[in-house]
Amino acid sequence: METKMINLKINGIPVTVPEGTTILQAARQAHIEIPTLCYLKDVSNVGSCRMCVVETTGARGLVAACVYPVAEGMEVRTNTEKCRQSRKMTLELILSKHKKKCLSCERNHNCELQKLSLGYSVDEDRFKGEDYVLPIDTSTPYVVRDNDKCINCMRCVEACNKQSIHAIGPIQRGFYVHIGSAFDRPLAESPCVGCGQCVVACPVGALSERSDIDKVWAAISDPSKKVVFFTAPSVRATLGEAFDLPVGTNVEGKMIAAIRRLGPDAVFNMDVTADLTIMEEASELINRIRTNKIMPMFTSCCPAWIKFVEQSYPEMIPHLSTCKSPQQMFGALLKSYWCEKNGVEPKSRFVVSVIPCTSKKYECSREEMKNDVDVAITTRELARMIKTAGIKFTELPDEEFDNPFAAASGAGTIFGATGGVMEAALRTAAHMLDGDFEVLDFFAVRGSSPVKEATYLVAGHTIRVAAISGLANARKVIEQICNGKNKYDFIEVMACPGGCVNGGGQPTLSDSIRNTVELKEARAKALYASDDRSDLRRSSDSPVMDVIYDDYFGFPNSHKAHEILHTAYWAHKKI
């Protein structure tokens, strides 16, 4: 059916848009940005904050542009005196109960409320509300909630609901309404899995990662510590955004140079253990296929996904790969192989991972892996450290990772995008099964679609695969598997929509960017471009893998490899 087009004017500018378009969406075609607080593309569209109010023909009073649909012949005014005064009062009412600790807030100069308050010349003390102090929730190792900074925009709640976790929601009513877990319990006693999508959705400083920056600075200053950094694949495609570079700029060389200037002893490439993960995981998959063991096999790289399974679907735990994530593999590799080769006491080695994810902080604290990595810092935390150190990021020369963990395959790089782990595993697993199988690009599992499926015939084996991003989508697929509606052999799951490139620890961008730029696609494109340029496209072709196995592990899935590179998972109490 042909889409009906609607003609209207916005501030006198003619605009033609499809029927069903909102005023907010239509305004962008006239290059007009209507202010918002509760609205966030792909996350929240509830029309509750009233910042986007406009005047329009056919309506009495002001209407919320984010939910009000366009109509034929409509005329919209977005910046009338009535609109501006309404927005100003809304901001002043919000500020009446907002903790105004802007100088010490990590969102200072990057806060939607701060930006709008300045633009509308608000009097922050016009309405003096009752002091209603709520405790700061520091119960988890990954997220801090300060409800006195919360503006009740509901974006965090919507982000959590879209993940089908429902760990938080509004509590009480009226002046006393606030966001929290059921019965006002700490976040650690909720179904939260630590994905951090609530953090990147928050427009103010009410939610943040639990910072480990001070621990890193202390280790760098301690002469008894040998500090090693290693960076996750997606960080190179996002770190530049914190320094105003275009979304999707690959800043690998500058990232390495900046970290080196912070003062660690070495800067390594986590892509190496992404390759190592593939060597172990592909071998595990082949063994399951050949011996008819429990199928399908799920990837185990994402700790938020792992926690989700342990809490919600413990019966699926035997389906999880036993491989540690690339982060934990690198820590384990450094504190075993690397320390032994260099005669270094593991306790003196302080291992710092730079990751796009808040749940990786939780992963470091898991009892069975807590000695692998000392500290995990997010892309945001690294950017803050670079800025604090006075390093002029955009002026840095490109530098390279330190050996022996510098070179990795393009397969390791694409781990940061949804479908990347699947494609990397297929490249190596297919080659292991059939030495003549030379296909390197598995396009069917690429892209930001929430569920991608494909079937491949390799050495007489039919391999049915799926790549899933977003936990709500994972829940649907698991239910289908349990009900016998779908059958797969190998499944990749990333908790965050779009994968690690859209992780909860990635740079916080302004709403004007998030609402207009396809972040997942632009960031993933940088990783696939790096893979295309690589001379090594398959993990098994990496010379670093040859060295590691020849020197230490012997072969993938060996007894020693299982001792150091694999782990186990268990059922958590359902909350």
Catalytic residue among 360, 361, 452, 520: 360
The predicted pLDDT at position 132 comes to 75
Contact 373, 334 (CB under 8 A): no
Q: Is the pLDDT of residue 444 over 60?
A: yes
Catalytic residue among 105, 359, 500, 530: 500
Mean pLDDT comparison of 171-180, 225-234, 364-373, highest-scoring range: 225-234
**Residue 228: which of 368, 405, 349 has the closest Cα?**
349
Catalytic residue among 86, 117, 321, 469: 321
Binned at pLDDT 50, 70 and 90, residue 236 comes out as very high
The predicted pLDDT at position 330 comes to 97
d(CA 425, CA 490): 10
Q: How far is CA 324 from CA 469, 562, 565, in A?
A: 19, 10, 6
Angle between helices 271-291 and 326-333 (to 10 degrees): 110
The predicted pLDDT at position 7 comes to 97
Q: Is the pLDDT of residue 58 over 90?
A: no
Which residue do the tokens 């919000």 mark?
Answer: 94
Q: For residue 226, what are the contacts with CB-CB under 8 A and spacing of at least 6? A: 265, 344, 348, 349, 350
For the record, the structure tokens of 422 come out as: 């699947």
Catalytic residue among 55, 112, 158, 281: 281
- CATH no. for 94-209: 3.30.70.20
Contact 40, 511 (CB under 8 A): yes
Quick check: is 321 catalytic? yes
CB burial readout 59-88, b (16+ within 10 A) else e = eeebbbbbebebeeebebbbeeeebeebbb
Q: Which tens digits make up the pLDDT trace of 242-289? A: 999 999 999 999 999 999 999 999 999 999 999 999 999 999 999 999
Catalytic residue among 38, 66, 156, 301: 301
The predicted pLDDT at position 351 comes to 97
Catalytic residue among 55, 112, 284, 381: 284
The predicted pLDDT at position 392 comes to 98
d(CA 333, CA 325): 12
Q: What are phi and psi of 316, to 5 degrees?
A: -95, 0
- DSSP annotation of 170 reads E
- CATH no. for 5-79: 3.10.20.740
Quick check: is 363 catalytic? yes
- DSSP annotation of 314 reads G
Catalytic residue among 19, 345, 368, 400: 368
Average pLDDT over residues 548-565: 96
The predicted pLDDT at position 435 comes to 86
The predicted pLDDT at position 575 comes to 54
**Where does the chain hold its CATH 3.40.50.1780 domain(s)?**
214-565
Average pLDDT over residues 523-529: 97
Q: Is the pLDDT of residue 341 over 80?
A: yes
The predicted pLDDT at position 419 comes to 96
Q: Of all residues in the chain, what percent carry a pLDDT higher than 90? A: 90
Binned at pLDDT 50, 70 and 90, residue 316 comes out as very high
The predicted pLDDT at position 574 comes to 59
For the record, the structure tokens of 533 come out as: 């340029």
Quick check: is 281 catalytic? yes
d(CA 375, CA 360): 9
Residue 6 bridge partners (DSSP): 17
Average pLDDT over residues 457-471: 93
Q: Which tens digits make up the pLDDT trace of 490-518? A: 999 999 999 999 999 999 999 999 999 99
The predicted pLDDT at position 572 comes to 78
Binned at pLDDT 50, 70 and 90, residue 458 comes out as confident
Quick check: is 280 catalytic? no
d(CA 175, CA 190): 24
Q: Which tens digits make up the pLDDT trace of 182-218? A: 999 999 999 999 999 999 999 999 999 999 999 999 9
The predicted pLDDT at position 436 comes to 83
d(CA 8, CA 427): 52
The predicted pLDDT at position 439 comes to 87
Count the Cβ atoms, other than its own, within 10 Å of residue 172: 10
Task: Find the radius of gyration of the CA atoms of the chain.
Answer: 25
d(CA 504, CA 2): 39
**Where does the chain hold its CATH 3.10.20.740 domain(s)?**
5-79
Contact 466, 450 (CB under 8 A): no
The predicted pLDDT at position 2 comes to 84
**Where does the chain hold its CATH 3.30.70.20 domain(s)?**
94-209
What distance, in Å, lies between the first and last C-alpha atoms of the chain?
A: 46
Binned at pLDDT 50, 70 and 90, residue 573 comes out as low
Exposure of 354 by Cβ count < 10 A (0-12 exposed, 13-18 middle, 19+ buried)? buried
| Chain centroid, CA 425 distance in Å | 21
Q: For residue 85, what are the contacts with CB-CB under 8 A and spacing of at least 6? A: none
What integer best gives the mean pLDDT of the chain? 95
- CATH no. for 214-565: 3.40.50.1780
d(CA 270, CA 334): 11
Average pLDDT over residues 401-420: 96
| Chain centroid, CA 434 distance in Å | 35
- The upper half-sphere exposure of residue 10, i.e. CA atoms within 13 Å in the direction of its Cβ, equals 23
Q: Is the pLDDT of residue 410 over 90?
A: yes
